[in-house]
Amino acid sequence: MKKILLLLLSLSAFAVQAQIYPNIGQFQNVLLYYNPAYAGSGTQIRATGIYRSQWSKYPGAPNTQVITVEAPLGKNIGGGAVLNRHAIANTLQLNFSGNVSYRIKTGRESFVQFGLKAGISQINFGAGTAFKWDENDPYISSNANRGIIGTFGAGVFYKKKSFYAGLSVPDLVLIDANKLYYDDATNKSLVKKNFFFISGIKLNVTDFIALQPNVLVRYYPTRPLNYYINLSVIFNQTFTAGIGFMYPKAMALYTNVNITPKIVLGYRYEFNTSGFALGNYGSSEILVRYGF
């Protein structure tokens, strides 16, 4: 059974990778991963690392690592970098991007930032090690299975007190010189643009308890609308417990603990609420964050 599932993962890896952006359950902690306009929105340097393991008991199941670093660079200017790795079956994708933002104040406690991103990705579909029904398959022999692509993206980010909202297209322009994501029959790109909307607000219930709902909505033209909802309960600014929902049928439990005022450790576990067998194995995320 596991071998059959691994084969299915291998066959579907191209379709998954064509979306370029694997989702992160704790998206509110890696906003720069989705939106370049988030760069430098705080008052000092911030860094976050997330390790995500999906259906971890199956060989070749998806796993993703993300590191973001961002800070103010000068008056109204912010900058940041994102490094991430994503693997599924025999396919490996390594990405790096630089991000810059410009801020316009809209009030005493509010501002809007516009951001641009330039990125580069190294793609390896692992055709040399993948299972093949036919070693002489013309598709395998005629198509590139590894190469480098470039991406340019843009976004806007608004913040007022404890509320924020952002809209971004991180892969607005894709440069695929090796035609890794092309249909040979039509000579057209198989990759569409990802559109992300992310928003959240922190609501103080008492001096020691706060609620923080966050939502991510993702639109990709060839797939159903995808959304994540996280609801956090924050106790005394040091301990967070939360529940998440992912469309169509998945739930999550997560927690964050402030080890120091600047260092946060977190864990998230996702489980499928449908009868799909892979859901029994769940997905895990480990988070380390530095900065306010």
Q: What is the pLDDT of residue 222?
A: 85
Count of beta carbons in the 10 Å neighbourhood of residue 145: 17
CA 269 distance to own-chain centroid: 16
d(CA 146, CA 58): 24
Token couple for 116: 């641009």
pLDDT tens digits, residue range 67-118? 999 999 999 999 999 999 999 888 899 999 999 999 999 999 999 999 999 9
pLDDT tens digits, residue range 257-270? 999 999 999 999 99
Q: Angle at Cα 95 formed by Cα 92 and Cα 96, nearest 5°?
A: 160
Provide the whole-model pTM.
0.88
Residues 284, 53 contacting (CB under 8 angstroms): yes
Task: Enumerate domains of the chain plus CATH numbers.
Answer: 2-290 (2.40.160.40)
Count of beta carbons in the 10 Å neighbourhood of residue 67: 18
Task: Dump strand ranges (E) for 55-162.
Answer: 63-74, 77-88, 91-107, 110-124, 146-160
